[in-house]
A and B are shown apart, each in its own frame.
Chain A
Amino acid sequence: MIERSPIFDFITYATMILGLVLVLVPFWVTIVAGSQSLQEVSQVPLNLWPSGHLLENIQTAWARADLGPKMINSLIVAVGVTTGKIVLAALSAFAIVFFNFKARMLCFWLIFITLMLPLEVRIVPTYSIAANALLPFQTLLDTFGITSLLEMMSGVRVTLEWNLLNSYTGLILPLVATATGTFLYRQFFMTIPDELVEASKMDGSGPIRFFFEVLLPLSRTNMLALATIMFVSSWNQYLWPLLITTDRANFGTVVMQLKALIPAQNGTPDWNVTMAGALIIMLPPLLVVALMQRWFVRGLISRDK
């Protein structure tokens, strides 16, 4: 369509540039302040041009917040959640979409309802499970009298205990236990034509072969999208790691360390170190999003429609 509207084109560019400034200001300030010396960063008004101290500030922040091991922890959690979610989601969506069994819709809703309540909203109850993740099963055994039965028969009292505090499983599992991935996969699997299933049936392949040789190759784009979304959201988790790790030195994640980097009320206002630290902490997910943009946007959209 050819249409000339020079004034409106100008307004378009002006607004987009304004938006660009708006979006970039926090990033720019972080980079600028992170690269200045203590003296420069304390200047009022701040000089909005980077200086040359970025590397030493990063080193100071790295040492102060002990970012080395924390980065590794964050990476373990993010990769763990991402892989766990992709595998579990693919399996459960496969069962829900391609199998015909009675409790199919019940299972779907059991999983789907978890989409409604984000972890932050049910944080108190979820935390209660952290001390012993096997408590539900213990309670089941107790209420049905199996515990006492076993005790009578063997003389051993069954106590199931699995403490999740200060462990990678504790950091990872509750984040895997939501339906985002399952839902995304379900939406995608439903677009697979029946003919494909029939054809592979006719060729004599069973469900497992169909899953590995037809479905998985087809859902590569979906997997990338889900991986991006999950990596970003698990790297950025704050409240859950904060609660589940009392042993911060060994199991803390980088995002938890942000608070430790903020200058104390009456201490040296060395915001340059804070900002250098914030910069490296926000960088990994930003890089992932920037690189995977094309795929992950598609995934995000199809997830919620």
Chain B
Amino acid sequence: MERRAFYRNPILPWLLLAPQLILVLVFFYWPTSQALFWAFTLEQPWGGGNTWAGFNNFLSLFGDTRYWATVGRSAFYAIAATVISMGIALTLAMFVDRALKGTRLFQSVFVWPYAIAAPAAGVAFRFIFAPEAGLIGAVNEIWPGIWNPATNGFHALGMVIVCHAWLGIGYNFIFFLAALQMLPKSLSEAGAMDGARPYRRMLDLQLPLIAPTVFFLLIMNLISSFTDSFGLIDVMTEGGPINATEVMVYKLYVDGFKGLDYSGAAAQSIVLMILVIALTFIQFRWVEKRVHYN
């Protein structure tokens, strides 16, 4: 941000910044430091303040096999949803980018899932996958009991992942298409002159060239799997059956707000924050440096 022409004024910039800075301090920095405090202390059961607990909250968290199961599940959830969603969005964007006749219609519809609230999509998908209803549930007519996300944990997790992936299509599609459209036309034309057919050019030219976008979206999707998953799971399964769909954000909510274990929830919060910060850091440092072809 090298600008030559500036305004100088000792007070005005601070007045302009004040509202935003105050909001950020009150709703971001203060709570975050508060979480740190809680994570390293233990609240007394009968009131009377917090006692220092050192790393005990974290140790008991990491010693909990149920927590590790949640971590594993979250990782599976994040990777599966990301791969499905990005795969579909990338395929669609590549074909839309060919700009054949009538593509505009497709293009505008592919963006729609972006507008939908996660819990709203959750309700729709819950009906689609409901064992007693007439869509996916219809297979139970042929093979009774073969599909039941209400009792089968694997079905339930699959159902939530599919819904999450669907929700992400819009966002991913927008970014992929934009990246593809920013590639210079001359590259593709040069490829065509050399006799590369359209699908060859897609795989060997366009795909490698949009690698930075792929990595950017990879990180954004992984982060969103921590955030959007809450609404979905709360509406679709409430973490069940038998914790089969309990991911990290949901466990944090259950422990903190249902179980009122603030110290445990704060420790979980810190772990999640570190995870997200690490992902963002990778995004900035590693990806920006290595995956650039132009």
Contact = CB atoms under 8 A, between A and B. Distances in A.
Same complex for A and B? Answer: yes
B231 A239 contact: yes
B8 to A, nearest CB: 6
B115 A286 contact: yes
A301 B95 contact: no
Contacts of B235: 258-259, 262
A203 interface: no
Contacts of B80: none
Contacts of B34: 125, 128-129
B31 A126 contact: yes
B293 interface: no
Contacts of A182: 20
Nearest to B22: A177
A238 B231 contact: yes
Given A126-B27, A235-B117, A290-B112, A92 B20 contact: yes
Interface stretch (B52-60, B67-75, B153-161, B222-230): B222-230
A88 B23 contact: yes
A86 to B, nearest CB: 12
B23 A176 contact: yes
Nearest to A99: B13
A95 interface: yes
B3 A97 contact: yes
A202 B21 CA distance: 31
Given A15-B92, A29-B128, A258-B120, A120 B230 contact: yes
Nearest to A107: B17
Nearest to B4: A194
A258 B92 contact: no
Nearest to A136: B30
Interface stretch (A52-60, A144-152, A267-275): A267-275
B127 A232 contact: no
A245 interface: no
A161 to B, nearest CB: 14
* Interface range, B side: 35 or more
B35 A125 contact: yes
Contacts of A190: 1, 3
Contacts of B100: 9, 12-13
Contacts of A118: 223, 226-227, 276
Contacts of B27: 126, 129, 173-174, 177
A63 interface: no
Given A26-B124, A235-B117, A238-B118, A259 B32 contact: no
A99 B120 contact: no
B174 interface: yes
A271 B127 contact: yes
A136 B35 contact: no
B253 A91 contact: no
A197 B192 CA distance: 46
Nearest to B279: A116
Nearest to B37: A125
A5 interface: yes
A212 interface: no
Interface string B41-59: 0000000000000000000
Contacts of A243: 257
Given A16-B106, A98-B7, 4 more contacts: A133-B26, A136-B26, A177-B23, A239-B230
6 contacts: A24-B109, A26-B125, A44-B134, A114-B24, A197-B7, A259-B235
Interface of B: 1, 3-10, 12-14, 16-17, 19-21, 23-32, 34-35, 38, 88, 91-92, 95-96, 98, 100, 103, 106, 108-128, 130, 132-135, 137-138, 140-141, 166, 169, 171, 174-175, 178, 185, 188-189, 192, 197-199, 216, 220, 223, 226-227, 230-231, 234-235, 249, 252-253, 256-257, 262, 265-266, 269, 272-273, 276-277, 280
The 9 closest A-B pairs by CB, nearest first: A46-B134, A125-B31, A236-B117, A197-B5, A125-B35, A100-B6, A289-B115, A238-B231, A95-B16
